[in-house]
């Protein structure tokens, strides 16, 4: 018997136990994120739509959460432009990812929740939509989905398949378990040559891999960050003409770190947490620093604009909020691991400041640093000085150089479609 058989056997014995243990925390999370009432029964194969009205022979695109969904939406736009005859199903896993997909996906794209990776649930989905190929966004591993697709001779493809050195080391420790699964990949589009080598080291065939560039960093066809009048009206309530220092996709503790650094600065402190449902936690941290906290979801004019902080507790608006920034500070890079995507800020043409760990966005960050297009700090203690430097105009040449670096990934989305599409 094959290695894949034994992997699936063990997996299918353990998975139901993990699902039972995890159902309580999952329910709590869904309550916080507003996931109930959004079609969550689709996760166990119960659909509102009659099967007679479903598309079949689809390109099935699996995307876990908001970040992967946004990549998938870029891919879908290019795919439909090049191959309009293809029907597409987009399947996010999380409630927040699903909400973004429902809001932003084209009307002719069927959005569903991805099925729980149990054989009978996955089998029902495959029978309902009869995919002609699977497209996984980045590096998700779902043994039953992949094995059952392979058994049905459905090609398995992966787009924007970045693999960090840390993930490679983790997979190497269990290579005997993951190699049979990764060996099922028929086509893999990777951002750069280093990713190609890493995927091969854990079981992906060299023949399956093509370097396409990063969809995340590809600005071709993307709508540029744009200033929205309603956003500007809110910002003007804090004082017309104030410089906006915006912390993007922050994680726990980083909001207070940035806000504390801004206590002595004249600019308006705007916080965009990575997870909007953390709004109460974020508000509490900022109020303890003495700020009057204004939430975007409950907007009102601040009583004292000079001592107020604006928290953007919304989902799917980050790109356009970035267009209103004078300085962008990237979250998950000070107290988290790996950083968040800096490309929206670079594309918006604003100085970009990060913490010491942006490893999830290499080699882009190193390229940006080489041209002075991004400033990576050693700790949060340096934020105030870096903000003053950026607001003084000292970074203008670096901003232009950073946008030139992004141009190297132009066309990555189109190349990914061409590499992955099965005829």
DSSP state letters, 355-421:
-S--GGGTTHHHHHHHTT--EE-SSGGGHHHHHHHHHTTTTHHHHHHHHHHHGGGTTHHHHHHHHH-
Buried b (16+ CB within 10 A) or exposed e, 288-303: ebebebbbbeeeeebe
Candidates 81, 79, 67, 203; CA nearest to 138 is: 67
Are 80 and 88 within 8 A, CB to CB?
yes
The pLDDT mean for the chain works out to: 91
**Phi, psi for residue 288 in degrees, rounded to 5:** -65, -20
CA separation for the pair 92, 394 (Å, rounded): 42
Q: What is the pLDDT of residues 277-334, one digit of tens each?
A: 999 999 999 999 999 999 999 999 999 999 999 999 998 899 899 999 999 999 999 9
pLDDT-based confidence at residue 171 (cuts at 50, 70, 90): very high
Q: What is the pLDDT of residues 326-363, one digit of tens each?
A: 999 999 999 988 999 898 899 899 999 999 999 888 88
CA atoms lying within 13 Å on the CB side of residue 151: 13
In this structure, of 225-239, 277-291, 360-374, the range with the lowest mean pLDDT score is 360-374
The reported pLDDT for the residue numbered 394 is 77
Close Cβ partners of 69 (under 8 Å, ≥ 6 residues apart) = 63, 90, 92, 97, 100, 101, 137
The reported pLDDT for the residue numbered 397 is 85
Are 193 and 216 within 8 A, CB to CB?
no
Q: Pick the most confident of 24-28, 218-222, 224-228.
A: 224-228
**Mean local confidence (pLDDT), 118-137:** 96
pTM: 0.72
The reported pLDDT for the residue numbered 32 is 63
CA separation for the pair 144, 142 (Å, rounded): 6
In this structure, of 112-126, 180-194, 402-416, the range with the lowest mean pLDDT score is 402-416
The reported pLDDT for the residue numbered 253 is 96
pLDDT reading at 150 higher than 80: yes
**Phi, psi for residue 326 in degrees, rounded to 5:** -100, -25
Close Cβ partners of 413 (under 8 Å, ≥ 6 residues apart) = 74, 75, 77, 78, 215, 218, 220, 221
Q: What is the pLDDT of residues 9-38, one digit of tens each?
A: 888 898 888 877 866 666 666 566 555 555
pLDDT-based confidence at residue 145 (cuts at 50, 70, 90): very high
CA separation for the pair 68, 66 (Å, rounded): 6
Residue with more model confidence, 44 or 35: 44
Q: How far is CA 145 from CA 75, 114, 115, in A?
A: 21, 10, 9
What value, to the nearest 5°, has the Cα angle with vertex 353 and ends 350 and 354?
Answer: 140
């Amino acid at each position: 018997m094959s290695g894949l058989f034994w992997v699936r056997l063990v997996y299918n014995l353990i998975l139901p136990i993990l699902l039972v243990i995890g159902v309580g925390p999952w329910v709590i999370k869904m309550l916080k994120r507003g996931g109930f009432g959004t079609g969550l029964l689709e996760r166990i194969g119960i659909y509102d739509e009659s099967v007679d009205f479903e598309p079949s022979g689809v390109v099935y695109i699996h995307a876990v959460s908001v970040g992967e969904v946004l990549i998938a939406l870029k891919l879908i736009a290019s795919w439909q432009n090049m191959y309009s005859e293809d029907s597409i199903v987009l399947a996010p896993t999380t409630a927040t990812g699903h909400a973004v997909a429902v809001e932003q996906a084209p009307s002719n794209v069927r959005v569903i929740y991805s099925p729980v990776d149990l054989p009978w649930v996955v089998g029902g989905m495959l029978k309902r939509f009869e995919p002609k190929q699977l497209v996984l966004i980045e590096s998700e591993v779902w043994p039953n989905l992949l094995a059952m697709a392979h058994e049905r001779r459905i090609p398995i493809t992966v787009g924007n398949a970045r693999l960090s050195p840390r993930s490679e080391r983790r997979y190497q420790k269990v290579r005997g378990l993951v190699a049979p699964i990764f060996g099922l990949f028929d086509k893999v589009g990777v951002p750069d040559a280093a990713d190609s080598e890493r995927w091969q080291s854990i079981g992906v065939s060299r023949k399956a891999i093509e370097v396409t560039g990063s969809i995340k960093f590809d600005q071709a066809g993307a709508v540029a960050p744009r200033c929205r009048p309603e956003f500007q009206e809110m910002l003007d309530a804090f004082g017309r003409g104030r410089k906006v220092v915006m912390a993007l996709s922050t994680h726990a503790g980083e909001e207070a770190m940035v806000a504390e650094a801004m206590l002595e600065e004249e600019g308006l402190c705007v916080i965009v947490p990575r997870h909007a449902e953390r709004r109460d936690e974020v508000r509490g941290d900022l109020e303890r620093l003495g700020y009057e906290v204004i939430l975007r979801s409950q907007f009102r004019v601040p009583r004292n604009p000079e001592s107020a902080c604006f928290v953007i507790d919304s989902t799917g608006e980050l790109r356009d909020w970035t267009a209103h920034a004078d300085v962008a500070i990237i979250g998950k890079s000070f107290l988290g691991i790996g950083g968040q995507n800096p490309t929206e800020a670079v594309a918006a043409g604003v100085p970009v400041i990060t913490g010491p760990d942006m490893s999830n966005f290499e080699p882009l960050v190193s390229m940006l640093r080489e041209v002075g297009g991004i400033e990576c700090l050693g700790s949060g203690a340096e934020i105030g000085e870096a903000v003053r430097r950026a607001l003084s105009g000292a970074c203008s040449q670096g901003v232009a150089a950073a946008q030139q670096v992004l141009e190297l990934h132009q066309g990555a989305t189109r190349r990914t479609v061409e590499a992955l599409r099965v005829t």
